[in-house]
Amino acid sequence: MESMNYWIKNLHLEPHPEGGYFVETTRSNESLDLPQGSRPLFTSIIFLLTADNPSHFHRLSSDETWFYHAGSPLTVHCIFPDGHYAAIKIGPNLTNGECLSYTVPKGTIFGSSVSNGFSVVSCVVTPGFDYNDFELFTQSTLINKYPEHTSVIKQLAYEEIPKQ
């Protein structure tokens, strides 16, 4: 198996504000006119997460589909709009309950973690990703709203949102 540095170097990955490393691979030339403004029909990225560098809790106003490519399986942690929590395993071992892809519905608060090593995935956002539609959360904000999920919130939400 290739090393994490192999993927970062050869895919030209850069740090992502939510955690991990990424590169945008596609931005549709077609666009949609939405109430919040014009958005590309879709966007896609390649995303690498590590055990020490997860995807922190955030929310999008579009659906995001995750596709497994290489490395360790990862878990997508979702707090759905109705408040219930689910952990979805994305990876190559279907007999262990992992799936090759999963779509996070818009409006869901979610983050992703890798137990050990790293995971390489791609993510497709439809309508396309725009930072104006991206919201990061602090631990205190989420714990106040979802105290029953304190453990996973402390694992995947920033204490303070980092300066960009």
Output helix, strand, coil percentages for the chain, rounded to the nearest 5: 20, 45, 35
The C-alpha R_g of the chain, in whole angstroms, comes to: 15
Q: Which long-range contacts (CB under 8 A, 24 or more apart) does 7-15 make?
A: 7/48, 7/70, 7/71, 7/118, 7/120, 8/48, 11/46, 11/48, 13/46, 13/48
Q: What is the pLDDT of residue 61?
A: 96
CATH superfamily, region 4-156: Jelly Rolls (2.60.120.10)
Distance CA 137, CA 13 (A): 24
Q: What is the pLDDT of residue 164?
A: 64
| Collapsed DSSP state (helix, strand, coil) of residue 68 | strand
Q: Beta-carbon neighbour count of residue 31 at 10 Å?
A: 14
Q: What is the pLDDT of residue 17?
A: 87
Q: What is the pLDDT of residue 163?
A: 80
Q: What is the pLDDT of residue 159?
A: 93
Q: What is the pLDDT of residue 1?
A: 73
What does DSSP assign to residue 52? T
pTM exceeds 0.75 for this model: yes
CA distances from 35 to 7, 39, 59, 61, 129 (A): 38, 10, 18, 12, 15
Residue-level pLDDT, tens digit, the chain, 164 residues:
789 999 999 999 999 988 999 999 999 999 999 988 999 999 999 999 999 999 999 999 999 999 999 999 999 999 999 999 999 999 999 999 999 999 999 999 999 999 999 999 999 999 999 999 999 999 999 999 999 999 999 999 999 988 86
Tell me the Ramachandran region of residue 12: left when phi exceeds 0, alpha when psi lies from -120 to 50, beta otherwise. Answer: left
Q: Which of 79, 74, 77 is nearest to 90 (CA)?
A: 74
Q: Could you state, in order of their start, the residue ranges of all structural domains in the chain?
A: 4-156
**Residue written as tokens 């170097």?**
9
